[in-house]
Amino acid sequence: MGKNTRFKSGFTIEQMAGQRLMLGFEGTTLNPDLKFLIREIKAGGIILFKTNIESPDQLARLCGDAQAYARETGLAPLFIAVDQEGGQVARLKPPFTQFEGNPHINSVTEAEAFARITARELAGVGINMNLAPVLDVVPEGVDSIMKDRVFKGDAHRVSELGTRVIKTLQDRRIMAVAKHFPGIGRTVKDSHFFLPVLDADLSLLKAIDIKPFEAARDANVAGIMLSHIFYPQLDDRWQASLSPYIAGELLRKDLGYEGLVLTDDLDMKAIGHDMKTCVRQILTSGIDLALICHKGPGIQEAWQEMVHLLASDKALFELGNLSLERILRYKQHYLGSLS
């Protein structure tokens, strides 16, 4: 297969490789760096942080200009994502509505209110994906790194509140992304800086930690984000975000999840592998979207390696077709025409 080989959708390999990337950038306008990600890397999506945001008007211009430029360059509409959980993790500051976060949501009514207002404000500025809700379960007595970001209570309670957020966001055309599969509520180290190890067996995880993700699946959540945690009893070589077993067997086949699967940020310190290794594992695992949240050489390296592997490996090419079809299906449903 050569690089000009086209997928079932009519996309070239270069375009398909770009569609598998959700990328961060510097700046608050459609500047040369962002244009490069869209025109040359052919990015499937962008992710916004506080440094990209000055005001509602500025943010609306940025999102609108990025989508217009994607159309001009012949790309499908962009996923435009943000982490707007409320509380500790909220990229949008006043005048956007401020919420105390998941630990302070105590009823389905409050969960719905958070999601309803958040969806209205995100849609109003052109953001179409919220990397929320957090569905990790913190067992009683565990000093979890996630304790200030989770819904309080057991797996049933987390499922109840989380699915209300998912349904309310998605009823208002904002894709929800549940995180962090298969659950990091038991961990005490931060994957931004370390590789946490969670030495729990599958039966325990299925009994508690995975339950909210099953509920999210049943609520037709658009995306599920993998954790960067190492679960040695599930995969003794690869952490969840790079694991063919956790992403491919456990999430896809065992849980039967058919939506988008995302990595967490590949720039985190928990990732101890070079970018080429990460890309191979992502493609092998059937993960749809790789997040690289900071400007740097890793973005172009990831895209080039994806192009190379898709052009040279028939099995990865076929898996790539499936991922691209999922990506385009969600873009068609939530973002409209792909032409």
Say if strands 84-86 and 89-90 run parallel, antiparallel, or are unpaired: antiparallel
User: Would you state the pLDDT for residue 309?
Assistant: 97
User: Would you state the pLDDT for residue 188?
Assistant: 82
- When pLDDT is averaged across residues 283-292 and rounded to a whole number, the result is 97
Q: Which of 109, 108, 86, 88 is nearest to 99 (CA)?
A: 86
Contact by Cβ (8 Å): 212, 184: no
* Residues forming a β-bridge with 80: 46
Tokens of 238: 């690869």
Contact by Cβ (8 Å): 66, 75: no
Q: What is the mean pLDDT of the chain?
A: 93
Q: Chain centroid to CA 210: how far?
A: 17
Q: Which of 86, 82, 13 is nearest to 46 (CA)?
A: 82
User: Would you state the pLDDT for residue 269?
Assistant: 67
118-132, 139-153, 181-195: least confident range? 181-195
User: Would you state the pLDDT for residue 2?
Assistant: 45
- Position 72 in a domain: yes
Q: Would the pLDDT of 120 be above 50?
A: yes
User: Would you state the pLDDT for residue 4?
Assistant: 47
- Position 205 in a domain: yes
Q: What is the CATH number of the domain that holds 46?
A: 3.20.20.300
- When pLDDT is averaged across residues 269-276 and rounded to a whole number, the result is 81
User: Would you state the pLDDT for residue 156?
Assistant: 98
- Position 253 in a domain: yes
User: Would you state the pLDDT for residue 1?
Assistant: 42
- Position 174 in a domain: yes
Q: Looking at the 3D structure of the chain, how many domains does it have?
A: 1
Q: Which range marks the domain in which residue 121 is found?
A: 20-296
User: Would you state the pLDDT for residue 3?
Assistant: 47
- Position 301 in a domain: no
pLDDT tier at 196, thresholds 50, 70, 90: confident
Q: 49-55 long-range CB contacts below 8 Å, 24 or more apart?
A: 49/24, 49/91, 49/293, 50/91, 50/93, 51/26, 52/25, 52/26, 52/27, 52/28, 53/28, 53/91, 53/92, 53/93, 54/28, 55/95
Q: Which of 132, 139, 138 is nearest to 163 (CA)?
A: 132
- Position 241 in a domain: yes
- Position 187 in a domain: yes
User: Would you state the pLDDT for residue 190?
Assistant: 65
* CA-CA-CA-CA torsion sign (329, 211, 176, 188): negative
Helix (H) or strand (E) holding 89: strand 89-90
User: Would you state the pLDDT for residue 273?
Assistant: 86
Question: Does 10 or 29 have the greater pLDDT score?
Answer: 29
Amino acid present at 262? L
pTM: 0.95
pLDDT tier at 86, thresholds 50, 70, 90: very high
- When pLDDT is averaged across residues 235-244 and rounded to a whole number, the result is 95
User: Would you state the pLDDT for residue 26?
Assistant: 97
- Cα-based angle 257, 334, 251 (whole degrees, multiple of 5): 10
Catalytically active residues are 192, 264
Contact by Cβ (8 Å): 11, 324: yes
- Answer whether the bond into residue 133 is a cis peptide, omega within 30°: yes
- Position 122 in a domain: yes
User: Would you state the pLDDT for residue 191?
Assistant: 60
Percent of the chain with pLDDT over 90: 86
